Amino acid sequence: MSVNIKRRSTAWFFSIGFTAICLALIVFWIYRSYATPPATRAGHTVLTTPADVTAFKADYDQFAEAAGWGEPIYIPTGMFIQSIEFTGPYNVRATGYIWQRYPIAANLAQGVVLPEAERQDLTEVYRVQQGDEELVGWYFVVNVRQPFDYRRYPFDRQDVRFRIWYTDFEANTELVPDLAAYTDASPARTPGIDEDFLLEGWDVTETFFSVKDVTYNSDFGFNSLASSGVDRELYFNVSIERDVVTPLLTQGLSPTVVFILVFVTFLFFSKDHERRGVFGLSWNGVIGVLSGSFFATLVAQAGLRNQIKSDGFVFLESLHILLYPTILTVAIITTLMVAAPEQKAVHQADGLLPRLLYWPLIGLTLLLVTLVLF
């Protein structure tokens, strides 16, 4: 008897230990991904110092010369964000100020376009002559639609990008960041963000300007643009990361409780009539608990999908999806324990083996999902 108890204890030790290792690896892998700088700057040349801007100008001079445009005129451009609000999974409403400094001698048209905005309201708020330049500033309200990647929800990070165009398509001009307008243009100091800035459910980690090579399959009707094919566009980027506490408590806790409830029900169900009487768990009772767990999971997943509205699979959803085969498997095993006494794998040691494998299989599956998504 004591030998049998010792073997059971050893088996449970390995089961719990393996599960704990899987959970530890999941936490480590997510933390490692979270601590690693995001790859959202791929394809962008980040401009955070005057030296970066000087190097970009030198490179662009060669680019413009090769395209046959001659020497370009650079227009310093700045942005100051007062508010950002997610009005939908892929829609952002933003308000703030944008300004440009024009060389007076060049006699340039004045104005900016935010091409990704579904709606753009610009109101000129100041116009000042400073030396040989004219400074013009606008207050803007824009609704921008952008693709965001929610696969790692709730451990996701996003870049809200504001692409900035000059209003005169034919002018030989290029926008560059007006870094001199900021006290500190280091991304970690979040230049261009209001002190009282609040984005519910998110934390701002960085802001920075960047330029990106863009190729269009149209010349927008201007024959002078047809020979190039490539242009370099200015972006103002706001990097944000989600506050994970609220999603974990509101959407991660419920499926975790269902996993535990299903396991407790599975653990205390027995083919032994005397033991079954002690815990009061009949086969009908088990099926009732599993049915309730199924519908609770279905409702929770529908609520998650309705909130995120992502086109694809998200990380937190793996808990809900994994619950469906778990509930079905427990229902099949408990049924076999009652109706198929010849199934040794199910009946041996009163169904010990399936119970031992419950948490390790769940932990291993979640670990594999984590490795794929992160």
Cis peptide before 103 (omega within 30 of 0): no
Whole-number Å distance between alpha carbons of 224 and 219: 8
Element (H, E) at 31: helix 2-35
Q: What is the mean pLDDT of residues 97-105?
A: 95
| Average of per-residue pLDDT across 73-78 | 95
Mean pLDDT of 235-239: 95
Report the pLDDT averaged over residues 126-145.
94
For residue 107, the one-letter residue type is: N
pLDDT winner (highest mean) among 39-53, 191-205, 211-225: 191-205
Q: Tell me: pLDDT of 350 over 70.
A: no
The mean pLDDT value of the chain amounts to: 87
Comparing 61-70, 79-88, 247-256, 324-333, which segment has the lowest mean pLDDT?
61-70
When mean pLDDT is compared across 54-58, 114-118, 342-346, the lowest value belongs to: 342-346
Give the residue extent of every domain in the chain. 2-34+245-373, 41-242
Percent of the chain topping pLDDT 70: 87
Cα 130 to chain center, whole Å?
42
Specify the higher pLDDT residue, 249 or 228.
249
Q: Considering only CA atoms, which of 318, 274, 320, 275 is closest in space to residue 296?
A: 320
Question: Tell me, what's the pLDDT at 248?
Answer: 92
pLDDT of residue 154: 92
Q: What topology does CATH give the domain 41-242? A: Acetylcholine Binding Protein; Chain: A, (2.70.170)
- Residue 231 phi, psi dihedral angles, 5° rounding: -135, 165
**What interhelical angle do 253-268 and 317-339 show, nearest 10?**
10
**CA distance readout (Å), 5 to 8, 147, 154, 346:** 5, 56, 42, 19
Six token digits for residue 183: 């006290």
Which of left, alpha, beta for 327 (phi over 0: left; psi -120 to 50: alpha)? alpha
pLDDT at 35: 76
- Distances in Å between the Cα of 109 and the Cα atoms of 116, 125, 232, 296, 322 are 21, 17, 19, 60, 59
Helix (H, G, I), strand (E, B), or coil: what is residue 23?
helix
Are 15 and 356 spatial neighbours (Cβ–Cβ below 8 Å)? Answer: yes
| Rounded Cα distance, 62 and 39, in Å | 28
Q: Which helix (H) or strand (E) holds 274?
A: helix 273-279
The pLDDT assigned to 222 comes to 62
pLDDT at 283: 76
Q: Which two tokens stand for residue 227?
A: 């020979």
Lowest mean pLDDT among 41-45, 175-179, 185-189, 256-260: 41-45
Report the range of poorest mean pLDDT among 96-105, 161-170, 254-263: 161-170
DSSP secondary-structure letter at 105?
G
Find the mean pLDDT for residues 29-51: 82
pLDDT at 241 over 80: yes
Q: Are 193 and 81 in contact (CB under 8 A)?
A: yes
| pLDDT higher than threshold 80 for residue 156 | yes
* pLDDT value at residue 339: 74
Does the global pTM surpass 0.85? no
CA angle 273–341–291, rounded 5-degree value: 70
Given a cut of 70, whether residue 332 has pLDDT beyond it is: yes
